[in-house]
Chains A and B, each alone.
Chain A
């Protein structure tokens, strides 16, 4: 199947860490991505991880990949109100095309 699952909602206080989780389906995915969507805007690439890596850190963002469990997570350190948005994980579906299957999206609400 092509279902990529995420929890629907996460609420954190400003300054805390946020962890957004994702479960994907295609074990042959080469890359896994995290995108951010602010209200009324398109999706903005935040970061990505190659499938042979376990972890990638990029400033406040840390991506963890557990290939055995097909689990991906995004940790945002020192969460700010400007981080409030919907976060989507995406897997590159196997095959010749560069088809991305997106997760169901997690709405992150940051309380001041």
Chain B
């Protein structure tokens, strides 16, 4: 059983489209995160939810909107995709101040 699962694994789409990435964790963790990894492998936090409440909202274009229907799910919706949005997006979860468990990533390519 995968602890943190993301779908899809690969996403290729045209500029201007709207897309969603889904994340689910079965670890019973209270907190979930979205990180973006760029082509130089830099990892930067985007959002975090604790028990469905938004607790971290970094400087991210408002075209990106996270949604957490329950504490086991955190989805990321992106409107009007741009070339610069191409990256690998990682979902992660943690319990309290504990270590993160990461998903395997979603590679988004905007053409």
The answer on a CB contact under 8 Å between B43 and A98 is no
A79-112 interface code vs B (CB 8 A; 1 in, 0 out): 0000000101000100011111110110000000
A25-36 interface code vs B (CB 8 A; 1 in, 0 out): 000001101010
B50, B99, B104: the one contacting A41 at CB < 8 Å is B104
In this complex, the interface size class of chain A, counting residues with CB under 8 Å from chain B, is 20 to 34
B65-106 interface code vs A (CB 8 A; 1 in, 0 out): 000000000000000000000000010101011111111110
B45, B96, B102: the one contacting A43 at CB < 8 Å is B102
**How many interface residues does B have (CB within 8 Å)?**
25
The answer on a CB contact under 8 Å between B97 and A98 is yes
The answer on a CB contact under 8 Å between B99 and A86 is no
> B interface vs A, CB < 8 Å?
4, 31, 35, 41-45, 48, 50, 55-56, 90, 92, 94, 96-105
